[in-house]
């Protein structure tokens, strides 16, 4: 009976979201967990089969740092941003494009889906400008050309994007994956952005999950220090998306089938953020 109730409940959301496009951001801390990635891959395939289009953008910070250590190069950060000289940029590309992206694409395809891996600089998808010389090849997105992603999702593919942009000279630029996901959701006119990470969602000061938030709530929680550290760029990405016309933002722990539970059940599993308070949801 419980399974029947879940299926009936899921049907309501399948019908509501059919034909819509969601941006899914996979945190670097999730990308190193094969069992979780396989579960996410299966969730994405099911969503695709029921008519919900997805574009995935992934991180890979922990694996980049691990590879740098192996190669004898110590990671260096300024205000939380990785200093990226030419040698570091080569490592970033090797890890994000050559390992993390191809591994997740293979997982989706192995489970019966159709995924295509794309570096953000391919087809001038993501154009960026350098922040400053101290950070090296690190920048902010200045332009997004989402046409190639629309072509792929309309043909039934699941694009998996690495957060490497190009500047006007064609140089590779390391960009923040959270911010990129928020801006990509706006450019694609997505109806949702979902950020999968290694914590249950936004937590209050007692470390309890906050299930529902609005953009004004976020600003208040930032001011009083409840939202801090690694959660800041995630909620800021959500705010960027919501202010740009995306209807809902979610921050969810990347556990087994968490994506399906967040999207296709009333209770969800993480934090949902809306532009303003929504009555009856």
- Domains of the chain, each with CATH number or no CATH: 2-274 (3.40.1160.10)
CA distance 192 to 109: 24
The residue behind tokens 């990308």 is: 31
CA distance 232 to 227: 6
pLDDT by residue (tens digit) across 88-123? 999 999 999 999 999 999 999 999 999 999 999 998
The closest of 216, 174, 212 to 81, measured between CA atoms, is: 174
**DSSP H or E run through 264:** helix 258-264
Task: Please give the structure tokens belonging to residue 25.
Answer: 């951001």
Are residues 92 and 64 in contact, defined by beta-carbon separation less than 8 angstroms? yes
Helix, coil or strand: residue 119: strand
CA distance 196 to 29: 9
The closest of 68, 57, 54 to 30, measured between CA atoms, is: 57
The residue behind tokens 């760029």 is: 233
pLDDT by residue (tens digit) across 202-251? 999 999 999 999 999 999 999 999 999 889 999 999 999 999 999 999 99
Q: Indicate if the pLDDT at residue 200 is higher than 80.
A: yes
Query: Residue 220 has what pLDDT?
Result: 94
Instruction: Give alpha helix (H) positions in 146-257.
Output: 147-154, 177-187, 215-223, 231-243
The closest of 157, 159, 144, 231 to 189, measured between CA atoms, is: 144
Q: What is the mean pLDDT of residues 59-81?
A: 91
Query: Residue 2 has what pLDDT?
Result: 64
Q: What is the pTM of this model?
A: 0.94
pLDDT by residue (tens digit) across 127-150? 999 988 889 999 999 999 999 999
Reduced 3-state DSSP string for 27-89: CHHHHCCHHHHHHHHHHHHHHHHCCCEEEEEECCHHHHHHHHHHCCCCCCEECCEECECHHHH
């Amino acid at each position: 009976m419980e399974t029947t109730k879940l299926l009936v409940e899921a049907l309501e959301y399948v019908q509501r979201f059919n034909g819509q496009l969601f941006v899914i951001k996979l945190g670097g801390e999730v990308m190193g967990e094969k069992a979780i990635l396989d579960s996410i891959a299966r969730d994405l395939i099911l969503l695709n089969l029921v008519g919900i289009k997805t574009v995935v953008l992934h991180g890979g910070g922990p694996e980049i740092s691990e590879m740098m250590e192996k190669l004898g190069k110590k990671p260096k950060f300024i205000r939380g941003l990785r200093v990226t000289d030419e040698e570091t940029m080569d490592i970033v590309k090797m890890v994000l494009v050559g390992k993390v992206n191809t591994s997740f694409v293979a997982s989706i395809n192995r489970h019966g889906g159709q995924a295509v891996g794309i570096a953000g600089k391919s087809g001038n998808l993501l154009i960026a400008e350098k922040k400053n010389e101290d950070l090296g090849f690190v920048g902010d997105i200045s332009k997004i050309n989402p046409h190639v992603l629309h072509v792929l999702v309309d043909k039934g593919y699941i694009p998996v994007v690495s957060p490497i942009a190009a500047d006007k000279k064609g140089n590779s630029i390391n960009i923040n994956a959270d911010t990129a996901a928020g801006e990509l959701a706006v450019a694609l006119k997505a109806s949702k952005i979902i950020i999968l990470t290694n914590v249950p969602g936004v937590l209050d000061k007692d470390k309890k999950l906050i299930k529902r938030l609005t953009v004004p709530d976020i600003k208040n929680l930032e001011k009083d220090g409840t939202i801090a550290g690694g959660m800041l760029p995630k909620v800021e990405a959500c705010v960027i998306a919501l202010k740009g016309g995306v209807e809902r933002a979610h921050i969810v722990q990347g556990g087994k089938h968490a994506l399906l539970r967040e999207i296709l059940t009333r209770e969800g599993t993480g934090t949902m953020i809306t532009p303003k308070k929504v009555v009856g949801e």
